[in-house]
Amino acid sequence: MLRKISLCLAIALFVAALPSPAFAQAAAVAEKPAVQAAKPALPTIVVLATGGTIAGAAATDTQAGYTSGQVGVDQLLAAVPQAKKLANMRGEQISNIGSQDMNDEVWLKLARRVNELVAMPDVAGVVITHGTDTIEETAYFLNLVIKSKKPVVLTASMRPSTALSADGPLNFFNAVAVAANKDAAGRGVLVVINDWIHGASSLTKTSTTAVQTFMSPLRGLIGTVAYGDAEFFRGPVGRNTVTSEFSLDGVTALPRVDIIMAHENMDGALIDAAVAAGAKGIVIAGVGNGNLTAPAVKALAAQAKKGIACVRSTRVATGVVGRNVELDDDALNLVASLGLNPQKSRVLLRLALTKTSDPKQIQRMFDEY
């Protein structure tokens, strides 16, 4: 009898230990592999290539001489496959020239194409490859005429694509990372090169050959980017993009503006010659605080009186050209460039002249941009 009771008890305990149907079903579900959350879709970045050293090639990987604009946009994209992890990319060839040959035709084509692209809902941003010689001028021009808060990022290199330790691939990778970064929006047109993020109104080229050639000496960096990891410090300085009053609507050509460097024993011959050649505006790369000799001042003031827009900038690397400091700009009808160097002063003056030749209105623009 005792043996029979023990057997019954063992059977009862075994049955009690069996899982219920509901528990078994739940356990079966738990054993199934977890469904992974869908990864967010990568942003679409359009790459516009214009040429430059980043698309350059040399006969060997250790020679200084090279030819710009030898590599097409498809080759650029293929050379940095790592960027495909950051964005869906497609490329277009706008031009393939050294940026010393940058011109109004390319500028207008490029700006109009960027405006078309950033108006497309599926395009998150634009990357532009460019030569270093005039990248600051192109970036500032775009900064004034692009009508979107979406990231527009220029990049370049100081060494050609064939060079030993070429800097182009990482610059391109970082530029794509910044353009794909939502935090880059609303900061104006940017230039990404050598791990630094510059604002279009701030940067300038400071060395003919050094890799770390670009600086933003007056206003500082917008941010930094290391292997695609971007950190932003500030927003843009001055009106730009969506807050800019400038537009290319109806513009088929830009007014001629010449830059003339001031120097010892300067007369007014070059000033008068520029106007005779068709210049509607003149930018003086003055000495010191935008100064120039008495004969040159006389010639400049005479042209300003005739309606030629005349801006005083400086050939000095850093500093602000103040209004009515060393010259009476009010009396002479001259414009002070403030924080803009001669090359950027020329860009702003050309766009200003599409609207007005009034020196007071042009000075307002220099104050605001």
Neighbours of 77 (CB within 10 A): 18
CB 272 within 8 A of CB 303: yes
Neighbours of 150 (CB within 10 A): 22
pLDDT at 151 over 60: yes
The secondary structure element, H or E, covering residue 192 is strand 190-193
Q: Give bridge partners of residue 282 from the DSSP assignment.
A: 258, 310
312 or 5: which leads in pLDDT? 312
The predicted pLDDT at position 181 comes to 98
Angstrom distance (rounded) from CA 181 to CA 200: 18
User: pLDDT tens digit string along 171-218?
Assistant: 999 999 999 999 999 999 999 999 999 999 999 999 999 999 999 999
DSSP state, residue 236: -
CB 293 within 8 A of CB 267: yes
pLDDT at 64 over 90: no
Instruction: Please indicate whether residue 53 is annotated as part of the active site.
Output: yes
Q: Please tell me if the domain spanning 44-243 has the same topology as the one spanning 257-368.
A: yes
* Segments making up each domain of the chain, as ranges: 44-243, 257-368
2-6, 71-75, 152-156, 248-252: least confidently modelled range: 2-6
**What confidence category does residue 69 fall into, taking pLDDT thresholds of 50, 70 and 90?**
confident
Q: And the tokens for 332?
A: 């002479």
The predicted pLDDT at position 38 comes to 55
Beta strands 196-199; 190-193: pairing state: antiparallel
The predicted pLDDT at position 29 comes to 37
Q: Is the pTM of this model over 0.75?
A: yes
User: pLDDT tens digit string along 353-366?
Assistant: 999 999 999 999 99
The contacts of residue 78 (CB under 8 Å, 6+ apart) are none
CATH 3.40.50.40 fits 257-368, yes or no: yes
180 or 23: which leads in pLDDT? 180
The predicted pLDDT at position 8 comes to 42
What are the distances in angstroms from CA 195 to CA 159, 171, 177, 249?
15, 7, 11, 35
Nearest CA to 114 among 157, 80, 85, 143?
143
CATH fold of 44-243, please? Rossmann fold (3.40.50)
62 or 104: which leads in pLDDT? 104
Angstrom distance (rounded) from CA 209 to CA 226: 22
The predicted pLDDT at position 183 comes to 98
The residue from 50, 53, 134, 241 that is catalytic is 53
Tell me the pLDDT of the chain averaged across its residues. Answer: 91
Nearest CA to 221 among 242, 235, 210?
235
User: pLDDT tens digit string along 96-121?
Assistant: 999 999 999 999 999 999 999 999 99
**What confidence category does residue 30 fall into, taking pLDDT thresholds of 50, 70 and 90?**
very low
